[in-house]
Structure 1
Amino acid sequence: MQVYGIDLSKEKFDVNFFDTDGKEKSRMVKNGLDSISKFLSKVPGGSVLCAENTGSYGDLLVFLCNQCGVSIALVPGYTVKHSLGILKGKSDPIDAARLREYGERFFDKLSFKTYQSESGSELRQLYSLRSQLVKSRKKLRTGEHAREQMPMQSIRANVILQASLAALDEQVGAVEKEMELIIKSDAGLVENYELAVSVLGVGPVIATDLIIKTGNFSTIGTARKAASYAGVCPFPNASGNMVGKSRTSPFADKELKSLLYMGAKSAVKHNKEYRLYYQKKQQEGKPHYLIMNNVMNKLLRTIYSVVNSKKPYSRDYICLDPREINKNDNGSKKIVA
C-alpha cells in the first residue's frame, strides 16, 4: 500500500511519496479543480492520502477523493508533531514527508474522511455566516453602550448605528430561516433536530451546532466523545504519588462549550430534574462551575439518548438507579422502594 503525505495550504499543496523503485519523491500541486483531478488520476489504486487537517483548504481535495474512490485521512498537525519524536526544521516539503511517515507508522489510527452531503455543507456555511453576523452585531452594541456615557453624542452616528443594527437583525433572521428550511428538507437532519430540541435547555442554535460538528450524531457517535470534543469531560491528573484534581482539556471547541453552558443554565432554571441535581450538589459544597460542567455532561447524555432511541424527551421519564435494584433469593430482580 502506498501512502502519500500532503501538506495543504490555500494556493497549493506539497506531496511526498515513494515511487515504484523505492525512491522518495516530492511534487507540488495547485489547490484547484483541474490540478487535483490530474493528480488523483495518476494515484495508483489502493493508495492512501494522509493530509494535514487545515480546515476548508482541504475540502475540495476530500470531495474529489471521494468522487475518485481514493481514501484520504485528515490528521491534525499537533498529532503529527508529537508522535514522531524530536523534529528539527520546518518547510512544506518536510511537513509532507512527516505526514507520509505518520501515515505509514500509524496506519491503524487513520480515520478516513467522507465529505458531508450537500445539505450538510450548505448548513455549515450558513451557520458560519450567522456566527459572523452575530459577532458584528455584538461589537456594534458594545460600542453603543460606551458612547451612551459620553457627555456629547452624535445624532447622525446614532441613526447610522441603529440602521446597521436593524439590518444585521434582519440578515440574522433570514439566515436562520434558510437554515430551518434546509433542515426540514432533509429527513435525516429534521428527525435528529426535533429530537434534540425536545430536550429542555436545548434550542435551535445548540441543536444545529451539534448536528454540524458531530456529523448529524454519526461522526461523533457517543455522548462521551462529544463531551471530550466540547471540553466538558474531565481527565485524570495523577503521576506517582502526586494526585491532582481532574481537569478539562484546553483542546476543545470553545464555541460549542459556551453554547452548552447556556443550555445548562436554561435546563437548571426550567427543568426540575436538573434544578434538583444542581441544588443537591450545591448542598454538598461543590463549586458552581464544577456543577455546571456536570450538568453539561448530563445534557449531552440526554441528547444522545433521545437521538439513539428515536424517542422525544419526556419529563415523566424515570431513570432507575441500578444501585436500587437488588436480587431476591430466587435470582429475580426487585426494586427497593
Structure 2
Amino acid sequence: MKKIMNTVGVDVSKDSLDAYNYHLKEHKQFHNGIPGIKKLIKWVRNSGELNNVLFCFEHTGLYSIPLAEYLNAQGLLFAMVPGLEIKRSLGMVRGKNDKIDSIQIAKYAYLRKEEMEPTVLPSGSITKIKRLLSFRDRLVRQRAQYKGTIKEFKAFLKAGENEVLFKTHNDMIKAFDKQINKIESELMDQMKCDPKISETYKLVTSVKGVGFVLGLHFIAYTKCFTCFDNWRKFACYSGIAPFDHQSGKSTSPKKINPMANKRLKGLLSNAATTSVRFNPEMKAYNERRLKMGKNKLSTQNIIRNKIVSRVFAVVKRGTPYVDTMQYAKQKYYYSNNLNLELS
C-alpha cells in the first residue's frame, strides 16, 4: 500500500462537500456532484503529491456514493468510516458545523493513517444486490404495517360496514406483494449474471436454515466473502459475538454488544428459529442444552454462531454443506443390518 503522508477530511452532505487539508490547515467547500468533486481533487493536487493523500469521509448512504465512485475510478486512496466511530474517538466536543466536522475527520484519519485500511468498493453486481435488498426490506416493513392494521380492523370493525377500509388495505397489501416479487425476481437475475456470486449463493444456501434472503445478505455484506478474514469477525459485525464484562473483582456473564448490523442479527435469529424447528441436529442440540438448564437465549445465540461458521466453512472449502447427522444415521443403520446378517 502507498505510504500516506497527508489526509483530507470531507464532511458530506446532500448539496455540499466540506473538505479540510490537514497539512495545510485549509478548509474549502465544494458542490456535491462530479464538477465539484473534480474541483476538490484539483485543489488537493495543487497543494502537493496526490498519490500519498488519503481522503476520509463518513458513509452517508446515497450522498457519499458519487465521491466514493469517482475516487475509486481515479485510483485514489479513500476510507469511508462509520460516523459513530469518528464521534467516539474525539471525546468531548463543543459546537458543531460542517467545517468543524471536516477538521475532526481529517484529524481522525491522520492520527490513524498507519493502521487505516483504504476502502475497496464492491463489484457492480454486489452493489446492485445490496440496494435491492435494502429496498425490499423497506417494502416488507411497509407491508407489515398494513397487515397489522387490517388485523386490528378485523378484530374490532364489521367488514360490511367498513368495506372501503378493508378493500383499500387488501389492495395495498397485494400491491406490495407484487412489487416485492418483482424485486426478488431482479435479485435472482443479478445473481445469475455473475457466475461467482451464483456459485457462492448455492454453497451458502446449502447450510440448513439459510434461505434466499439471508443467503443474499451474506453475499452482499461480505462482498462475496472477501472483506472478512474469518467467521468470528462477521459474527462480531452481526452482533452475535459475546464479549467479557469484567472490572476488578466485578465480573458478569458474557454479553452481546448492541453495536451491530441489526438487520443481519434479525435474519440470523430467524434462521436459528427455523433450524431448531426443522433441522433434527439443531433441534436435538437445543433440547439437550435446555435439559441441562442452559439459558434459552444463549442457546439461540450459539445456534446463530453455528450457522455463520458453517456458511464460512462451505465457502472456504468450495463444497456444499454435508449433513453429518444424517450420514451418521445411515452409517448406524447399515452397520446394524450388517451385524444382523453376519449373525
* TM-score normalised by structure 1 residue count: 0.89
Give the structure 1 partner of residue 293 of structure 2.
Answer: 285
Distance 1:314 1:23 in 2: 59
Contact 1:62 1:114 in 2 (8 A): no
Shift of 1:56: 2.7
Distance 1:54-1:151 versus aligned 2 partners, 3 A rule? closer
Distance 2:203 2:270 in 1: 19
Runs of 4+ with >6 A deviation: none
Unaligned runs of 5+ in 1: 320-337
Shift of 1:211: 1.1
Q: Which amino acid aligns with 1:35?
A: G
Shift of 1:317: 7.1
* Aligned partner of 1:60 among 54, 59, 66: 66
Q: RMSD of the TM alignment (CA)?
A: 1.9
1:110 aligns with 2:111: no
Tell me the number of residue pairs that the alignment of Structure 1 and Structure 2 aligns. Answer: 317
Give the structure 2 partner of residue 327 of structure 1.
Answer: none
Distance 1:138 1:69 in 2: 43
Distance 1:275-1:317 versus aligned 2 partners, 3 A rule? closer
Query: Which has the larger helix fraction?
Result: 2
Distance 1:309 1:317 in 2: 19
Distance 1:115 1:64 in 2: 11
Distance 1:200 1:189 in 2: 19
1:242 aligns with 2:234: no
Shift of 1:23: 3.8
Distance 1:24 1:207 in 2: 46
Q: Which amino acid aligns with 1:6?
A: V
Give the structure 1 partner of residue 170 of structure 2.
Answer: 162
1:231 aligns with 2:235: no
Q: Which amino acid aligns with 1:284?
A: M
Aligned to 2:114, the other structure's residue is in SS state: helix
Aligned to 2:29, the other structure's residue is in SS state: strand
Distance 1:146 1:272 in 2: 37
Contact 2:281 2:325 in 1 (8 A): no
Q: Which amino acid aligns with 1:247?
A: K
Q: Which amino acid aligns with 1:195?
A: L
Distance 1:13-1:285 versus aligned 2 partners, 3 A rule? same
Shift of 1:75: 1.8
Contact 2:57 2:79 in 1 (8 A): yes
Q: Which amino acid aligns with 2:226?
A: S
Contact 1:3 1:104 in 2 (8 A): yes
Can you list the C-alpha shifts for 1:298-326, whole angstroms capped at 9, x where unaligned?
1100000001111101113799xxxxxxx
Unaligned runs of 5+ in 2: 45-49, 328-343
Between stretches 7-16 and 47-56, larger displacement belongs to: 47-56
Can you list the C-alpha shifts for 1:16-74, whole angstroms capped at 9, x where unaligned?
114xxx54100011111111123224432321111122233211111100111110011
Give the structure 2 partner of residue 131 of structure 1.
Answer: 137
Give the structure 2 partner of residue 14 of structure 1.
Answer: 18
Distance 1:71 1:170 in 2: 42
Shift of 1:124: 1.5
Aligned to 1:72, the other structure's residue is in SS state: strand
Report 1:122-271 matches (<5 A).
122-153=128-159, 154-271=162-279
* Aligned partner of 2:9 among 5, 9, 13: 5
Distance 1:285 1:108 in 2: 48
Can you list the C-alpha shifts for 1:223-277, whole angstroms capped at 9, x where unaligned?
1011111111000000110011111011011111111011011112222221222
Shift of 1:9: 1.3
Shift of 1:290: 0.9
Give the structure 2 partner of residue 120 of structure 1.
Answer: 126
Contact 1:8 1:57 in 2 (8 A): yes
Contact 2:51 2:77 in 1 (8 A): no
Aligned to 2:158, the other structure's residue is in SS state: coil
Distance 1:70 1:37 in 2: 13
Give the structure 1 partner of residue 98 of structure 2.
Answer: 92
Aligned to 1:235, the other structure's residue is in SS state: strand
Distance 2:212 2:230 in 1: 20
* TM-score normalised by structure 2 residue count: 0.88
Distance 1:113 1:85 in 2: 25
Can you list the C-alpha shifts for 1:142-180, whole angstroms capped at 9, x where unaligned?
000111122434112222222221121111111101101
Distance 1:157 1:294 in 2: 45
Shift of 1:200: 0.6
- Fraction of identical pairs, as percent: 28
Shift of 1:80: 2.1
Distance 1:162 1:88 in 2: 51
Distance 1:105 1:151 in 2: 63
Give the structure 2 partner of residue 309 of structure 1.
Answer: 317
Distance 1:298-1:311 versus aligned 2 partners, 3 A rule? same
Q: Which amino acid aligns with 1:262?
A: N
Give the structure 1 partner of residue 38 of structure 2.
Answer: 37
Contact 1:74 1:111 in 2 (8 A): no
Contact 1:199 1:313 in 2 (8 A): yes
Contact 1:14 1:29 in 2 (8 A): yes
